[in-house]
Structure 1
Amino acid sequence: MRASKRQQVVDKATELFSKHGFHPVGIDWIIDDSGVARMTLYRHFQGGKDDLIREVLEQRYHYIIDSVSQNVQAQSDPIERVKAIFDWYKSWFTTPEFAGCLFERALAEFGTSYPKVSEIAIRYREKMVAWIGEILEDVMPPAQAHHLASVCMMLLDGATVDARAFGDPSAATRAWQAVEALVLPTRASEPAA
């Protein structure tokens, strides 16, 4: 089944934005590479490039959350559930389309003062930190869990940059090993069941 013209534009824009950034990629480039007419693009994205960027980020947000959720739900142990998030990142780093994090790119290019774009990037980070924190509450006090969740997100960010800069998917494994070193002392102090 052929993708709709709208989805064709979003898919091509996602690819171009991932590889080249939001600002360098213009509407003409997206139109040329997606093979749609200018009128088609503006019929679907009346606000032009800003609306298209927002849709790219929204779709990316839902794709990642759904995909990571499947990894997490396959595990029952809380620590293994957090590790499943790091494993998802490692798998993502090995895909041919991996070119870094679109959310981080959006924040880098637009800052936080342009909510039409930055709101989604911030929502992604907040969702991931809250999610990891909720999982970790099963093995440590809530304040400690949410602090460690924030550290996990920073490590995932660093692993993403490292994987992009050096083409090394094992950055996610090294990030997980750092988290594991932080969690093991807490795990050892848990009362036996």
Structure 2
Amino acid sequence: MSSILLGMTEEDARERILAAAEELYYRKGYAAVGMDELRQSAGVSLRRLYGLFPAKNDIVAAVLARKHAEWESGLSTAVADAGDDPRARLLAVYGYLEDWFCTDSFRGCAFINAFGELGGTHPEVAAVVRAHKASFQAYMAGLVAEIGAPAALAAQLSILAEGAQSTAAISADPQVAVQARGAAEVLIDAAVPTRV
């Protein structure tokens, strides 16, 4: 294994560290995972780990950046797959949540988890989490604009999605997404009455 590690590029080492960190943090929590456990799981030396990421917060921020890209890609694909109907595109957000909640690895929102553990004492982590949540709000605002609904609907639907993530993590019940979708339909119908 040492010959493999010696030939490992900086990008390979970075990827191994981030993949290991993402899995460990999501499964065990951010505070529970020490640098030695991360180094061991990634198969890199402590020197290399600190050379690439001088502080644990640097790793947390990089992991959250990966999760953000993964979230945006998955969500935009689900919305695009819903077709051209603006209402169906908006409701596809909740279908995406349901699919995610049904995975064996679902343990809630990585951003909410990070904020709960580190947000109060690590302002840089709190800033990353806030940026992610603001990005989701902006995305929802775009979908709401497509159906011609008032801007306030975006915040309401976002709160439903956020609440569904927390509730599903605690209850281990993927049907929470179905319930959130039902509530979203009521809000959408109230904001945009169907034309006769």
TM-score normalised by the shorter chain: which range applies?
A: 0.7 to 0.9
For 2:92, the equivalent position in structure 1 comes to: 84
Q: Secondary structure at the match of 2:84?
A: coil
Unaligned ranges ≥5, structure 2: 1-7
Q: Percent identity?
A: 27
Question: May I ask how many residue pairs the two structures share in their alignment?
Answer: 186
Give TM-score scaled by structure 2 length.
0.86
| Equivalent position amino acid for 1:172 in 2 | A
Of residues 162, 168, 172 in structure 1, which corresponds to 2:167? 162
* Aligned counterparts of 1:53 and 1:16: Cα–Cα separation in 2: 11
Deviation at 1:110, TM superposition (A): 2.4
Q: Contact 1:125–1:153 at 8 Å: present in 2 too? A: no
* Residue ranges of structure 1 left out of the alignment (5+ in a row): none
Structure 1 residue aligned with 2:183: 178
Deviation of 1:187 (Å): 3.1
TM-score (normalised: structure 1)? 0.87
- Distance in 2 between residues matched to 1:52 and 1:186, nearest whole Å: 42
Please state how far the C-alpha of 1:51 moved relative to its aligned partner: 0.6
Q: 5 Å matches for 1:42-121?
A: 42-45=50-53, 47-74=54-81, 75-111=83-119, 114-121=122-129
Q: Which amino acid aligns with 1:151?
A: Q
User: Which residue is equivalent to 1:187?
Assistant: 192
1:126 is aligned to: 134
Determine helix, strand or coil for the equivalent of 1:99. coil
Q: What is the identity, as a one-letter code, of the residue corresponding to 2:117?
A: E
Conserved in 1, the CA contact under 8 Å of 2:102 and 2:174? Answer: yes
Q: Following the alignment from structure 1 to structure 2, what is the Cα–Cα distance between the partners of residues 132 and 113? A: 29
Measured after TM superposition, the shift of residue 112 of structure 1 is 5.8
Between the aligned partners of 2:84 and 2:61, the Cα distance in structure 1 is: 34
Counterpart residue type for residue 29 of structure 1: E
1:15 to partner: Cα distance:
1.2
Which amino acid in structure 2 is aligned with residue 173 of structure 1? Answer: V
**How far, CA to CA, are the matches of 2:137 and 2:124 in structure 1?**
21
Which deviations, in whole Å up to 9, do the C-alpha atoms of 1:64-119 show, x marking residues without a partner?
10111111122211111111111111111122221111111122122367332122
Deviation larger for 104-113 or 162-171: 104-113
**C-alpha RMSD of matched pairs (Å):** 2.0
- Partner Cα distance (1:29, 1:72) in 2: 38
Report the CA distance between 1:189 and its aligned residue: 4.8
- Conserved? CA contact 1:78–1:139, under 8 Å: yes
Q: Which residue of 1 aligns with 2:155?
A: 150
Contact 1:139/1:186 (<8 A) preserved: no
- Contact kept, 8 Å, 2:153 with 2:191, in 1: the verdict is no
